[in-house]
Amino acid sequence: MPEAIVRELWTYPVKGCQGVPAESIEITKMGVMGDRGFVLWREGQLVDQIETPQVASLAVGFDRDAGTLRFEHAAHGGYDHVIRAEGPAREAKWIIDEFQTIDQGDAVADWLSSVLEKEVRLVSPGEAWKINFPIPQMQLLHQEPKRSFFSASPVSLANLASLDDLNGRLEQPVAMDRFRMNVVVDGLDAYQEDELVSLRNNAIELRNVTPAERCVIITTDQKTGERPKNDLLKVLGEYRRKKKEDRFGSGITFGLYMAVHTEGTLRVGDKLATS
């Protein structure tokens, strides 16, 4: 198998909001440090781009040392939030996971609600919980500890050659940000990532869980939060769909869900052996 070369690294401090490019990321078995450590909450449910695509219009900067989040919006300006380690507990559910979150206060909730024209709260994780994904495809992750708001796996990975192939089939090409990946590589043929068992170097090892299943979120413009008419899901569905017995969502795939076998730091430019 060829080497994969890391070309892009991304974190998403607030689930659903815009991503932040990085030169390096720290990867633990519970996820990427600084990735999806906050989420919008409404009536016991986590708010994402499926029902609220305008969440993508929010840019977020995360300063771990200062303990702050900086929100930016084209029409509403900026807002600085000092992260709270304690606050009212709010019960939440995501798919079939159930857990507690920590409310980040009224001031940031009021600002975000004004931007989105919908009452929402900003929350962070409480105590760690267990991933509840009892299906064969997710056996590497089922019952593993979790303390951030990633949807399916602690790390996601995509291949630039696969995006090039997809864009050659679309009426309007899309950028990789549509897929909200943590790790973007090249050096592989289109969709060769599907065949991988692992990617590794001296610092880290990631293992392939299953191809990532896609939904309407990938049709959302990741800068504006708009969802213009496009053929992205239709085209992917024509040639990138799991067998019925292997799918747990749409079955339409692009990129990989990854499990962390060896924790470490990953950098842009790193070479990863594949197997």
Calpha distance 108→79 (Å, rounded): 8
Would you call 154 helix, strand, or coil by DSSP? coil
Calpha distance 143→183 (Å, rounded): 24
Q: Decide if 37 contacts 43 (C-beta within 8 A).
A: no
Q: Decide if 192 contacts 157 (C-beta within 8 A).
A: no
The structure's pTM equals 0.96
Strand partners, 208: 258
pLDDT tens, per residue, the chain with 275 residues: 799 999 999 999 999 999 999 999 999 999 999 999 999 999 999 999 999 999 999 999 999 999 999 999 999 999 999 999 999 999 999 888 999 999 999 999 999 999 999 999 999 999 999 999 999 999 999 999 999 999 999 999 999 999 999 999 999 999 999 999 999 999 999 999 999 999 999 999 999 999 999 999 999 999 999 998 899 999 999 999 998 888 888 999 999 999 999 999 999 999 999 99
The CATH number for 15's domain is 2.40.33.20
Longest dimension (CA), the chain: 52
Calpha distance 60→37 (Å, rounded): 12
Calpha distance 196→253 (Å, rounded): 15
Q: Decide if 159 contacts 186 (C-beta within 8 A).
A: yes
What is the count of structural domains for the chain? Answer: 1
Name the residue range of residue 220's domain. Answer: 4-274
